[in-house]
Chains A and B, each alone.
Chain A
Amino acid sequence: MVFLIFALKCKAMRFSQNYSALRLVFLFLSGLMLLFIVAPLLGLFFSTSLPNLFETAKDTQVKGSIALTLGVSALFTVLAAFFALPLAYLMARKEFRGKAFLQGLIDLPIVLPHSAAGIAVLGFIARDSALGKLAEALGLNLVGSPFAIGVAMAFVSVPFLINAARDGFQAVPLRLEQAAQSLGASPFRVFRQISLPLAKPSVITGLVLMFARGMSEFGAVVIVAYHPMTTPVLIFDRFNSYGLEYAKPVAVLFIIICILVFMVLRLVGRKNNKV
């Protein structure tokens, strides 16, 4: 009996040591936060039947929109990287007048209402714009094309890549770049073989974030191209035209695909990060 009381006391002490009042409050609040994120998704999943989901997966319009969304977002993420990474490197390494202003400019698409971003992109690619006129001379109409979708996606998502890559480059000790230069490497080789590999985890995170943000974009994309439909636009279209029940399976399917894509990207990223 004495032993039992002693054991219980020990357990209570250990519990009070491990779970202070503050920790319990934090755990409770964290739980609520996680529930806030997970509950709507679980509700969506449980309210969609499997046969309905399989039928949606066979729908050619759904398949086409998912392929378009993933493909355009991936392509424009890669294309944007060629311009975003040098900019991120300059922002990390150089001090110049107006740098804070430039940083604000880079962050602007994050704070803009996405419909406004869409209007801005539309003005950039419309027929009466310089780019639009050039495309028209080549017999192309940019508005309502996958190109327009890609530009809208990149416009709202590229700050995530620039900022993540900038943080990564900033974390690379300048000394390593100087050592590389003193060993005979050109600045470009230093960037390619020293700075970029060392900043790789942040760059990959930035690429994944940009890709994710791009493919989930609705506001800007719907303004520049209602057709061909990306999946977020298709979900909206089905909801608007046929109601919630028709939009749900498409949304669930897209969420499942997004989760799978991110799991793969994260795994690849983690594998690459092991230097």
Chain B
Amino acid sequence: MLKCCELEYKVGSFHLKDFSLELQKGDYCALFGPSGSGKTVLLELIAGLRPLKKGSIFIDGMDCTHMPPQRRPAGILFQDYALFPHMNVFDNIAWPLVIRGLKKLEIKQTVTQMAEDLDIVRHLSRMPELLSGGEKQRVALARTLVIHPKVLLLDEPLSALDAPLRDQSIQLLKNVSQTGITILHVTHDQAEVDALANRSFAFEPDHGIIVP
């Protein structure tokens, strides 16, 4: 489902070289690495937000190496959730559907269904600034999931949450994973994904290797 072949990228002191990874459909893969090791950069490379120096990326059999981010079948959940502050929760979730030209009724049904699944219906008319960390995470996840990405890239999604919310979010991600979506979750905390990942690796960009 996701295949990264010998990726190479250099920015500042960060140097990723000969990075390869292959995930099957439904895999939940965790990548561990210390803060500042460039895990987020790797996700941005897969999402197409940074241009690769070398290597190739295939998603669902499609060569996405030179594809712009808006055309890649991947969704990314940023660490700070990146909710649009000038839109309410409904509009945030609906926005990817609006730009795909869906009809209003269809958008309303999809957003409501997604909000029900993620238990955020009561927040639909609220602005992002009024939401807690856990609520923001659910909204950002809903916004990413409505586009039905083949691969879901998670950038330390639990790091900003306190213990009770973290447990809820782990359950939520478990539910998402059970839908068959391929997930790549980067984190600096191994315990975070013990209950989630079926594959896990240590991320060592400078040596170009991944240690299972």
Using a CB–CB cutoff of 8 Å, the interface residues on chain A facing chain B are 173, 175-176, 178-186, 189, 193-194, 197-198, 275
Instruction: Tell me whether A197 and B47 are in contact in the complex, defined as CB-CB below 8 angstroms, given that A183-B96, A189-B99 are known contacts.
Output: no
| A275 in complex: contacting residue of B70, B78, B82, B86, CB < 8 Å | B86
Q: Report whether B84 and A182 are in contact in the complex, using a CB–CB cutoff of 8 Å.
A: no
Whole-angstrom distance between the Cβ of A195 and the nearest chain B Cβ = 11
Q: Report whether B69 and A182 are in contact in the complex, using a CB–CB cutoff of 8 Å.
A: yes
Q: Report whether A180 and B84 are in contact in the complex, using a CB–CB cutoff of 8 Å.
A: yes
Instruction: Tell me whether A179 and B82 are in contact in the complex, defined as CB-CB below 8 angstroms, given that A184-B147, A186-B70 are known contacts.
Output: yes
Q: Report whether A198 and B70 are in contact in the complex, using a CB–CB cutoff of 8 Å.
A: no
Report the Cα distance A185→B147, complex, angstroms: 12
Taking CB atoms, residues of chain A closer than 8 Å to B147 are 183-184
Please, which residue of chain A has its CB at the minimum distance from the CB of B146? A183
B48-83 contacts to A (CB < 8 Å) = 48-49, 68-72, 74-76, 78, 80, 82
Q: Report whether A182 and B86 are in contact in the complex, using a CB–CB cutoff of 8 Å.
A: no
Q: What is the number of residues of chain B that contact chain A, defined by CB distance less than 8 Å?
A: 25
Report the Cα distance A193→B92, complex, angstroms: 12
Instruction: Tell me whether A173 and B70 are in contact in the complex, defined as CB-CB below 8 angstroms, given that A182-B49, A184-B100 are known contacts.
Output: no
Q: Is the interface of A mostly helix, strand, loop or mixed?
A: helix
B201 at the interface (CB under 8 A from A): no
| B47 in complex: contacting residue of A182, A185, A189, CB < 8 Å | A182
Report the Cα distance A180→B87, complex, angstroms: 13
Whole-angstrom distance between the Cβ of B118 and the nearest chain A Cβ = 16
B144 at the interface (CB under 8 A from A): yes
Report the Cα distance A275→B83, complex, angstroms: 14
Whole-angstrom distance between the Cβ of B86 and the nearest chain A Cβ = 4
Q: Which of B47, B69, B147 has the most CB of A within 10 A?
A: B69
Q: Report whether A184 and B70 are in contact in the complex, using a CB–CB cutoff of 8 Å.
A: yes
Instruction: Tell me whether A183 and B143 are in contact in the complex, defined as CB-CB below 8 angstroms, given that A175-B82, A176-B82, A189-B99 are known contacts.
Output: yes
Taking CB atoms, residues of chain A closer than 8 Å to B48 are 181-182
| A194 in complex: contacting residue of B49, B72, B84, CB < 8 Å | B84
Taking CB atoms, residues of chain B closer than 8 Å to A186 are 70
Report the Cα distance A189→B44, complex, angstroms: 20
Contact digits for B132-144, partner A, Cβ 8 Å, 1 yes 0 no? 0000000000011
Whole-angstrom distance between the Cβ of A222 and the nearest chain B Cβ = 43
Please, which residue of chain B has its CB at the minimum distance from the CB of A183? B96
| B76 in complex: contacting residue of A176, A179, A275, CB < 8 Å | A179
Taking CB atoms, residues of chain A closer than 8 Å to B74 are 182
Report the Cα distance A57→B95, complex, angstroms: 51
Report the Cα distance A175→B49, complex, angstroms: 10
Report the Cα distance A271→B69, complex, angstroms: 35
Q: Report whether B86 and A173 are in contact in the complex, using a CB–CB cutoff of 8 Å.
A: no
Whole-angstrom distance between the Cβ of A272 and the nearest chain B Cβ = 11
Report the Cα distance A107→B69, complex, angstroms: 35
| A178 in complex: contacting residue of B44, B84, B143, CB < 8 Å | B44
Q: Report whether A198 and B85 are in contact in the complex, using a CB–CB cutoff of 8 Å.
A: yes
